[in-house]
Structure 1
């Protein structure tokens, strides 16, 4: 028995080493700051009623966005720590946002910032991602902690990571400790655990995987006839599939959005609303009315199961990649039957609406986007 078991164990060890080499079992090593960020990201105690963490709305199994299928199918807006408190938009992905620049106007368009409306500008910390990470904790429609001091007290009371917090965030100034919390979460979101570049597409770029004929067609259409890469740009060795700008796609109002149910006349102003809050001239903010940040398409199809429903668009109106691609293709085609846009101003008609794609071409684009899911295991 012993002489037979040795080669078996050797084969098993070789197999494990192969899986590690291909990334199937590989686990990234987090820095102390990233580990603190991870602890903070998954801690449900960091909410008013200790029932909600960042991961409640940004879960890894669904591409770091909403993991509750029933919510995605419905209004797509997640309830906060306080029962009945809802935001206005579906959760964007928490991954691959670390390269978004500080919000600026380049003379023709706004670029950078975080959140759908850009309000985490980076103007204070020099890092939009860190500013975004601070926001939900004190938002009454999200984690609803009353103030920064209460948040810091909760973190310092943690049995799991209080010592790590003290090490990474020394001092007693509440504002600085609050900033340190944001920076730690941003570090985790930038880490190779959250933004690992392990999709089939990434391996194809390295010559380690082969795309199917349908996926190749989808890639060509994505960069050509379908005009997807005009905003979801493919650039460099690790493309992020976004240009960090803002756009009004003419998405219809989601009738199941709690904000719409409360006020049927409400329409999401997006970036324009944020700029109005800054007291920008009307001519400036109205030019951005209804525009929302172009999201990354990485992990756009990542889900816990094949039939799991994700929501797409800033308001979650669409429930599948097939549906939103068909919308891009046919929004302006007479008789297509799409409802009117939520916001009629500033709708992008140059890069979408009547693309002339066939059903085969739409399916190919969807197939290509499915290659952007992390966790691909090499055959």
Structure 2
């Protein structure tokens, strides 16, 4: 990954300073990786995944039996609810946008501030969050599920080697296993695997501009982001009251740093930024170019880059 970042900086600052410079396919593939076919053995873990999906969709994990993981991370809507911030069990809202669960298991960490190391840990947070699902304690969640006959069978099947499979940690293990199946290959993956015709000419032009401008410095790798933290407003200051990763690390230099979001399915997962304050992808591209790269980009740049980003949308 350090090599990728170094290459990105070199290309954006020196060799490929012009947005329309044509970059060869071999070089492009140094910045990105196609999604793997799988990151969990779905046959071997079928019972665990079945339990995880059932839990993911079950509103009974909330205090009022109305909010499920799927309420904010909708499986039929690219893993989001398209809300700036999501309403919780009593209609209160947090201060950060709900990111997609699609491909999330491939990120460096979870949540905007990286406070959870993986999807298994992340899945347990919202259940006890007083604004989100509002359950009062781990014990209350376990007791609630134990009283449901369906879960007696599902937990026993998912954890056959455990004498007492009902525990709070196993809820996260199961939901995380299910989320590891949520990979969304796109035409861009076909392109990276050698199908030159998978992208049209406008999309390829946008990809070149994306790299030449320096967007690839942060948005690279298998999920086109999700693998580093970056300060918002690194070149030109960006106003936000959110301390970002500082809340986790208490390191001064982490103020206003956030996990770089994945750009997979980005045309479908607005509104944008950590607080969901940016309604359109056009504006998000413009603001990122300005605040992260120090560039005032024109409409043609935005349209071409947006066309490339469209190639990251999951194949139906």
TM-score by length of 1: 0.66
Q: Aligned equivalents of 2:306 and 2:119: distance in 1?
A: 29
The answer to whether the Cα contact below 8 Å between 1:133 and 1:182 also exists between their aligned partners in 2 is: yes
Question: Which residue in 1 is equivalent to 2:294?
Answer: 353
Query: Map of 1:203-214 to 2, 5 A cutoff?
Result: 203-207=190-194, 209-214=197-202
Greater RCO structure (CA 8 Å; 6+ sep) = 2
Q: 1:84, CA displacement in angstroms?
A: 4.1
Name structure 1 gaps, 5 residues minimum. Answer: 1-27, 101-111, 123-127, 254-266, 277-284, 304-309, 332-350
The number of aligned residues is 267
Write the distance in 2 (CA, Å) between the matches of 1:84 and 1:301.
27
Cα distance in 1 for partners of 2:180, 2:78 equals: 14
Specify whether residues 59 and 113 from structure 1 end up closer, same or farther in structure 2 by C-alpha distance, changes over 3 A only: same
Tell me by how many angstroms 1:162 deviates: 3.2
CA contact (8 A) 1:90 1:314 kept: yes
**TM-score after normalising by structure 2:** 0.78
| Partners of 2:216 and 2:152 in 1: CA distance | 44
Alignment correspondent of 1:64? 79
1:31 pairs with 2:54? no
Task: Quote the Cα distance in structure 2 between the aligned partners of 1:182 and 1:117.
Answer: 19
**Pairwise CA RMSD of aligned residues?**
2.1
Please say if 1:201 is aligned against 2:188.
yes
Say if 1:171 and 1:142 are closer, same or farther in 2 by CA, change over 3 A: farther
Question: 1:86 Cα shift?
Answer: 2.1
Distance in 2 of aligned mates of 1:99 and 1:211: 24
**Residue matched to 1:271:** 245
> Residue by residue, what CA displacement relative to the aligned partner does 1:178-220 show, whole Å, maximum 9, x if unpaired?
11111111111111xx2142x1212233345521111001111
Q: Distance in 2 between matches of 1:313 and 1:357?
A: 19
Rounded Cα–Cα distance in structure 1 between residues aligned with 2:187 and 2:165:
45
Say if 1:63 and 1:300, in contact at 8 Å, map to a contact too: no
1:246 aligns with 2:229: yes
In the alignment, which residue of structure 1 is the partner of 2:276? Answer: 316
- What corresponds to 1:293 in structure 2? 259
Contact 2:97 2:275 in 1 (8 A): yes
Higher-Rg member (1/2): 1
* Mapped partners of 1:152, 1:361: distance in 2: 52
Aligned partner of 1:95 in structure 2 is 102
For residue 38 of structure 1, report the CA deviation from its aligned partner.
0.6
CA contact (8 A) 2:156 2:165 kept: no
Q: Which has the higher helix share?
A: 2
1:244-273 CA deviation, whole Å, 9 max, x = no partner? 2212223544xxxxxxxxxxxxx2111012
